[in-house]
């Protein structure tokens, strides 16, 4: 196996495999080497759609197994932080939601980066090129979900679909919330996410879509892959990245570039281990400085969230009835194994999302304390303040649902986090995990948003017919909506939803001393031959879920590299 390639891609995850495939399939056919810490993971058992919520918690072999440090605002709790390990990265074990955010996220991104290639018009074009969107909505449901073919693609590598059979109760939730006054959004991914609607999933034909299944279908011979290979160091010659070394001693060299797609934790870790980062931090570990770049490992952001579960009448839903029946689950598994159809493609398929503004947030001291450009952004029509998801997983998963009863989960996410955390080295040993400190809810605005989101979403829920007809209390929820009660609940139960970003953030060259690490093309400031193309460069935490954004980053950087090198 040759250890020389035109390009080396470090990390075979969401963005990495798409980027590598695009480069390898470009007209000039350069050699591309992908180096992935995990295994190939091609087993079909990882791609059962109904396992979307359980894979992250029941399959440690596809998880890096990270935890945060104790979080001060969460009562000193450490938070589990699942990161996919294997070809496909976190598309192996994420919740499969396709939510690309608001068009204003991308316009804001372009403004901050000083690079119009990231604006909504350009990003929307790339998203459509990526999609194989399955427009299979039954006629009787098109008043609830009906995306336009103008806004979506049908020939890209990434399969996206909505269920052809909606779960019991899901249609009623949308219609009831609409009666309350929240508009029905026929296409959450149109650039305007506001309102309530059905969430498309990364799935089709009864199978989860992963970055590996999407981008390695017809792998060309010039695309090489090393698995079970962890890169511990970037090799530099006079501030020019020329190769990498794995922790087991193998070396690989690139004639053109090394592109880091190891994720928001491991990309900054690898940079710091290789001498790029805050010099004072690197000096602690006697790491020679290649480039003092103070923003590396800083500006970590994520969406804070809280998962609540209502106890409901058994006549409205049927998840528990299915899960608790050995005969039903056994038959469903046999059918899925035979032809990837049946209940394992329908159960847990109907997630409903509501993006809302908080009615009184603009009058709060927490909002008034923000910088002017951030206040202006938050006032834009298509920028929500929170997200609520109905019909997610039962939390806690071992909560007992009485016989004959059902549950309905309600998850609130705080959008547009203002606080930020850090990713720092534990040691100079590449086998040691980085120290992850997201400083969750340390910013007053973020705490205000999440508390207000819980109150607002539950008030909407309580106003629906489905609540009035079927609510039987909470399996996990607030005793009342008094602010002090909700604040205590948030402290005890809030967590992060694994949307880490910003740790090698994009910006303008003159923003280097204000935390920017890469330019609008992902090129690392101050060195040659090194680029970043994953969520670590995202300086806007999109109003959606990050799988779509990660794919977009891979596609955008690939387009730039192909153009720069005339590939």
Average pLDDT over residues 545-557: 98
Residue 376 in this model has a pLDDT that exceeds 90: yes
Average pLDDT over residues 473-493: 97
- The pLDDT, as a whole number, for residue 2 is 59
Q: Give percent of the chain with pLDDT exceeding 90.
A: 96
Q: Count Cα atoms within 13 angstroms, Cβ side, for 231.
A: 33
Provide the sign of the torsion angle of the four alpha carbons 163, 168, 171, 174, taken in this order. negative
What is the CA angle 387-535-302, rounded to 5?
Answer: 40
Q: Which residues of 153-164 are buried (b: 16+ CB within 10 A; e: fewer)?
A: beebbbbbbbbe
Domain ranges of the chain: 73-83+131-207+301-496
Closest CA to 18 of 173, 153, 129: 129
pLDDT tens digits along 27-69: 999 999 999 999 998 899 999 999 999 999 999 999 999 999 9
Concerning whether 545 is annotated as a catalytic residue, the answer is yes
Closest CA to 536 of 371, 302, 278, 244: 302
- Given 152, 346, 385, 545, which residue is catalytic? 545
Provide the sign of the torsion angle of the four alpha carbons 448, 458, 388, 195, taken in this order. negative
d(C-alpha 457, C-alpha 453), whole Å: 6
- Given 108, 385, 499, 539, which residue is catalytic? 499
For residue 233, the tally of other CB atoms under 10 A from its CB is 17
pLDDT tens digits along 229-287: 999 999 999 999 999 999 999 999 999 999 999 999 999 999 999 999 999 999 999 99
Mean pLDDT of the chain: 96
Q: How far is CA 180 from CA 371, 450, 456, 465, 531, in A?
A: 34, 21, 12, 9, 48
65: Cβ contacts below 8 Å, ≥ 6 apart: none
| Residue with the two structure tokens 């909470």 | 474
Concerning whether 499 is annotated as a catalytic residue, the answer is yes
Looking at the DSSP assignment, which residues form a beta bridge with residue 133? 160
The model's confidence at residue 1, banded by pLDDT at 50, 70 and 90, is very low
Residue 397 in this model has a pLDDT that exceeds 70: yes
What CATH number does the domain located at 73-83+131-207+301-496 have? 3.30.560.10
231 annotated as belonging to a binding site for a ligand = yes
Query: What are the backbone angles phi and psi of residue 425, rounded to the nearest 5°?
Result: -80, 140
pLDDT tens digits along 196-219: 999 999 999 999 999 999 999 999
- The pLDDT, as a whole number, for residue 509 is 85
C-alpha distance across the termini of the chain, in Å: 24
**Per the structure block, which two tokens stand in for 33?**
């080497």
């Amino acid at each position: 196996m040759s250890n020389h390639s035109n390009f080396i891609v470090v990390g075979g995850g969401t963005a990495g495999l798409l980027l590598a495939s695009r480069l390898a399939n470009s007209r000039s056919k350069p050699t591309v080497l992908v180096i992935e810490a995990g295994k190939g993971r091609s087993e079909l058992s990882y791609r059962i759609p109904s396992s979307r919520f359980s894979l992250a918690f029941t399959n440690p072999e596809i998880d890096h197994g990270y935890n945060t440090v104790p979080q001060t605002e969460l009562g000193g709790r450490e938070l589990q932080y699942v990161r996919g390990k294997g070809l496909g990265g976190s598309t192996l074990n994420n919740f499969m939601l396709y939510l690309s955010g608001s068009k204003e996220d991308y316009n804001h991104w372009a403004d901050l980066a000083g690079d119009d290639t990231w604006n909504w018009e350009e990003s929307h074009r790339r998203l459509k090129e990526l999609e194989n969107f399955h427009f299979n909505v039954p006629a009787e449901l098109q008043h609830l979900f009906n995306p336009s073919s103008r806004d979506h693609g049908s020939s890209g590598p990434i399969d996206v679909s909505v269920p052809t059979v909606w779960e019991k109760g899901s249609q009623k939730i949308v219609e009831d919330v609409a009666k309350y006054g929240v508009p029905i959004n026929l296409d959450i991914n149109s650039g305007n996410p506001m309102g309530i609607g059905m969430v498309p999933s990364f799935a089709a034909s009864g199978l989860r879509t992963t970055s590996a299944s999407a981008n390695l279908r017809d792998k060309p011979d010039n695309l090489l892959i090393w698995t079970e290979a962890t890169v511990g160091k970037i090799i530099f010659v006079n501030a020019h990245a020329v190769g990498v070394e794995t922790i087991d001693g193998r070396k690989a060299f690139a004639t053109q570039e090394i592109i880091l797609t190891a994720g928001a934790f491991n990309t900054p870790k690898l940079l710091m281990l290789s001498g790029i980062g805050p010099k004072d931090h690197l000096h602690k570990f006697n790491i020679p400085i290649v480039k003092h770049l103070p923003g590396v490992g800083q500006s970590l952001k994520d969406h804070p969230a809280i998962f609540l579960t209502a106890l409901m009448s058994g006549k409205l839903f049927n998840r528990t009835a299915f899960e608790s029946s050995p005969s039903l689950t056994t038959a469903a598994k046999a059918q899925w194994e035979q032809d990837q159809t049946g209940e394992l493609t329908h159960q847990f398929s109907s997630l409903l999302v509501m993006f809302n503004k908080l009615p009184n947030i603009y009058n709060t001291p927490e909002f008034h304390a923000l910088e002017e450009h951030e206040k202006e952004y938050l006032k834009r029509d298509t920028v929500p303040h929170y997200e609520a998801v109905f019909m997610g997983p039962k939390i806690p998963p071992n909560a007992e649902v009485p016989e004959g009863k059902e549950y309905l989960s309600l998850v609130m996410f705080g959008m547009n986090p203002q606080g930020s955390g850090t990713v720092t080295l534990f040691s100079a040993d590449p086998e040691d995990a980085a120290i992850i400190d997201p400083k969750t809810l340390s910013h007053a605005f973020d705490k205000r948003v999440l508390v207000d989101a819980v109150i607002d979403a539950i008030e909407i829920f309580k106003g629906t017919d489905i609540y009035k007809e079927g609510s039987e209390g909470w399996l996990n929820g607030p005793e009342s909506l008094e602010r002090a009660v909700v604040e205590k609940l948030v402290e005890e139960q809030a967590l992060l939803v694994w949307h880490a970003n910003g740790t090698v953030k994009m910006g303008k060259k003159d923003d280097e001393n204000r935390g920017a690490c890469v330019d609008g093309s992902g090129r690392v400031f101050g060195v040659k031959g090194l680029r970043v193309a994953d969520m670590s460069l995202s300086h806007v935490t999109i109003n959606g879920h990050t799988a779509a954004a990660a794919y977009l980053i891979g596609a955008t950087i690939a387009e730039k590299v192909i153009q720069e090198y005339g590939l």
